[in-house]
Amino acid sequence: MKYEQSQSMKKVQYHSNQSGFSSMEVLLSATVFTLLVSALIGVYLYGEESTSLAGSRARATMLAKEGVEAVRNIRDAGFINIPDGTYGLSTAGNQWNLNGSSDVSDIFTRSITIKTDAANKKSITSSVAWQQNAQRAGSVEIVTRLNNWIRAGIGDWSIPIQQASINIPGNNDGIKIQVENNFIYMIRNGGVPNFIIIDVSNPGAPFITGFLALAGIPTNIIVSGNHAYVSNINNTEEMQIIDITNKAAPVVVGVFNAVGNADGRGVYILGNNAYLTRLSSVDNEFIIIDVSVPNLPVLTGSVNLNANGNEVVISGNYAYVATSDNIQEMKVVDIANPGAPFVAAGLNLPGNNDALTVTLANTKVYLGQGNNLYVGDVANPLLPNVNGVVGVGGLLNDIAISLGNSDTYAYVATSENAREFKVIDVSIPAAPAILGFVNMVGNNILSGIAYDTVLDRAFGASNSNTEEFVIFAPQ
Amino acid sequence: MKINFLTKKGFTLIELLLYVSLSSVLLISTSFFMSTLLEARIKNQTIAEVEQQGLQIMQVITQTIRNAESINTPTQGIIANTLSVNTYDININPTVFEVVGNVLRIKEGSNPAIDLLNSKVKITDMNFSNLMRPGTPGSIRVEFVLSYVNNIGRNEFDYSKKFTNTATLRQP
């Protein structure tokens, strides 16, 4: 042991003599220590920076959110206020405005992009960009979708009211009516005028902008683009084409003289073809007319229905005609070849009353027969069938469908004196039900009805001598 | 042996000086590192305090506005340092946000006012701007500056940020 100890003592002494080694050790340990401490400090410094960056990001998110909220408020004042584009925000006039293409606050630059997704639907992208530090840029993006919920079409039609009316000079009856882009096109069964254009952009105060005196007695009307097409009983003008570009001065530009003298009853337009149906005669009741040149309508094809063709609608390769036939109140005409249309199928409704009117929405067909409204399915046009029926209390003269509200409402014009106008809930095709009605002043017959999704108003044509034109509104 | 010892002593003095200088460099740098580290840690806490409290009160305010039924003050186009809204709960109407002595308080109906900030931070330049379009339910821009209370004027307690957000009332 002693020997060993003295040996180790010797060793220690020997080592301590080499002082250079000790400084190296100190330097080494100091370096290691410095590295460790630097790493530790780095952690804290970077930690501090990232806390700060996180704060900036949070505030950038708030600014992006502000962009979305501001656009929401601008939208609340009217969907028209948010046109597509890229904008910044300004508070000029102490209200939110879209201004320029971006706006800067503090270190943040914000831009808002508005894009149309679908009709009445827009997506709003609010993005904020900033420089986090010399090397890194940051950005935050918030996307939301705004709908034009203010858009009419969601009114309560269970208690409709008569909002306004117009007394058209003379005592002739309003027959049919069409609405397009805030203008009403109405026909009467005679008198001057018998074709009237009414501005209804403000449904509370409609006014006549123009009119015409058509030859004969108009029976039905359809509007497409700059032209109105009117079916007529006139023996040389079964269909009249009216240029309605100038709402103050409509003008007849073309007439079509069908073979024979049967009265024109229904008219529809799709593409370059007009479809005319007539009262029964030896001549063909269903006629296809090429109207690509409005002042020179040309017969394309026709087929005999062996019954009155009262009204017609077209979808795809098929025409659906409301007829007086007792076993085929609705006839389906194949028009795939316009030169040679043929009756492809029919739908028999109970009883022998004539189907007077027909309207189509997607795969459902709405037929007015006698006092009943029938909801039919034409998903397979060759196998039409009846889903449901509801009595409307009087002769059903015309039907309009609200396409803008999930096809849930049918607006009908009837001859029931106490409830001329009715709203029918057809959301369940098997069980249509009367939702609301309006009793016009006096005992009238409401012959024509039209509905506008944007305005959420129904427009009626009646035989009243003081209010031939009426506007119905939801509450 | 003696000569040897004396020779060794001389070396030891130089060594001592070397050690002292080395260790002082080491100690100075260590304490510098330590103080930097502590400063960074405190600054980190300061920043976190301001950012988190700012975020929190902003959320409370904007959430209240968004869920409000109507705005009492400020009215359209007016900027104020107090906000008063009516909610769908009549027991807490009006709900008022106000700044009293650099502290943000919420007062719900007749209940006593409650401080929304702790004593470590102070709020200044509180602005509620009603920037709504006419005929809309209301849109309030909320702006404030939140600072760490720094009575001794030290850098690590010095942090101040501006917060901006907007809340638009939902349609009734």
Residue from A44, A90, A128 whose CB has the most chain B CBs within 10 Å, to mutate: A44
What's the gap between Cα A419 and its chain centre? Answer: 29
pTM of the complete model: 0.56
Instruction: Report the pLDDT value the prediction gives residue B4, as an integer from 0 to 100.
Output: 55
User: Mean pLDDT over all residues of chain A?
Assistant: 88
Residue whose pair of structure tokens reads 């900030």 in the numeric block: B117
Q: Read off the pLDDT of residues A223-238 as tens digits, 9 standing for 90 and up.
A: 988 899 999 999 999 9
* Chain A touched by B77 (CB under 8 Å): yes
List the single residue in B33, B55, B78 with the smallest CB-CB distance to A58.
B55
Question: Nearest C-alpha of chain B: how many angstroms from A207?
Answer: 27
Q: Read off the pLDDT of residues B4-23 as tens digits, 9 standing for 90 and up.
A: 555 555 567 888 888 899 88
Instruction: Report the pLDDT value the prediction gives residue B66, as an integer from 0 to 100.
Output: 92
Q: Residue A125 has which token pair? A: 């992208």
How close are the terminal C-alpha atoms of chain B, in Å? 104
User: Which chain B residue is nearest to residue A108, measuring alpha carbons?
Assistant: B164
User: Which chain B residue is nearest to residue A45, measuring alpha carbons?
Assistant: B40
List the single residue in B22, B78, B168 with the smallest CB-CB distance to A72.
B168
Instruction: Say whether B139 and A38 touch across the interface (CB within 8 A).
Output: no
Instruction: Say whether B48 and A51 touch across the interface (CB within 8 A).
Output: yes
Question: Which DSSP letter does residue A106 get?
Answer: T
Q: Given a cut of 80, is residue B125 above it in pLDDT?
A: yes
User: Which chain A residue is nearest to residue B51, measuring alpha carbons?
Assistant: A55
In one letter, which amino acid is A396? Answer: L
Q: Residue A51 has which token pair? A: 């806390």
The domain locations on chain A are 2-147, 161-473
Q: Residue B32 has which token pair? A: 């510098």
How close are the terminal C-alpha atoms of chain A, in Å? 113
Q: Give CB contacts under 8 A, 24+ apart, made by A320-324.
A: A320/A358, A320/A360, A320/A365, A320/A378, A321/A266, A321/A277, A321/A286, A321/A358, A322/A266, A322/A354, A322/A355, A322/A356, A322/A357, A322/A358, A322/A367, A322/A368, A322/A369, A323/A354, A323/A355, A324/A280, A324/A354, A324/A355
List the single residue in A40, A59, A96 with the smallest CB-CB distance to B131.
A96
Q: Are A328 and A308 in contact (CB under 8 A)?
A: no
Which 182-211 residues of chain A touch chain B by CB within 8 A?
none
Which residues of chain A have a pLDDT value below 70?
A: 1-21, 150-154, 403-407
| Residue in A463, A468, A373, A449 with CA at minimum distance from that of residue A160 | A449
Q: Which residues pair with A103 in a beta bridge?
A: A110
* Chain A touched by B132 (CB under 8 Å): yes
Neighbouring residues of A443: CB distance < 8 A, sequence distance ≥ 6:
A417
For strand A103-105 and strand A183-188, is the pairing parallel, antiparallel, or unpaired? unpaired
Instruction: Report the pLDDT value the prediction gives residue A3, as an integer from 0 to 100.
Output: 45
Instruction: Report the pLDDT value the prediction gives residue B41, as an integer from 0 to 100.
Output: 87
Instruction: Report the pLDDT value the prediction gives residue A413, as an integer from 0 to 100.
Output: 94
Question: Nearest C-alpha of chain A: how many angstroms from B70?
Answer: 14
List the single residue in A48, A77, A91 with the smallest CB-CB distance to B47.
A48
Strands of A273-278's sheet in order across: A264-270, A273-278, A286-290, A298-303
Residue from B51, B145, B169 whose CB has the most chain A CBs within 10 Å, to mutate: B51
Q: Read off the pLDDT of residues A58-94 as tens digits, 9 standing for 90 and up.
A: 999 999 999 999 999 998 887 888 999 999 999 988 8
Residues of chain A with Cβ-Cβ distance to B37 below 8 Å are 37, 40-41, 44
List the CATH code of the domain at A161-473.
2.130.10.10
Q: Are A77 and B77 in contact (CB under 8 A)?
A: no
User: Mean pLDDT over all residues of chain B?
Assistant: 88
| ipTM exceeds 0.90 | no
Question: Nearest C-alpha of chain A: how many angstroms from B86?
Answer: 18
CB pairs under 8 A between A and B: 125
Neighbouring residues of A256: CB distance < 8 A, sequence distance ≥ 6:
A237, A238, A239, A240, A241, A274, A276, A289, A297, A299
Average pLDDT over residues B120-133: 92
Residue from B168, B169, B170, B171 whose CB has the most chain A CBs within 10 Å, to mutate: B168
What angle, 0 to 180 degrees and rounded to 10, lies between the N-to-C axes of helices B2-66 and A19-76?
Answer: 10
Distance of CA A429 to CAs A155, A191, A374, A385, A426, Å? 21, 40, 9, 11, 5
Question: Nearest C-alpha of chain A: how many angstroms from B22?
Answer: 8
Question: Nearest C-alpha of chain A: how many angstroms from B16?
Answer: 11
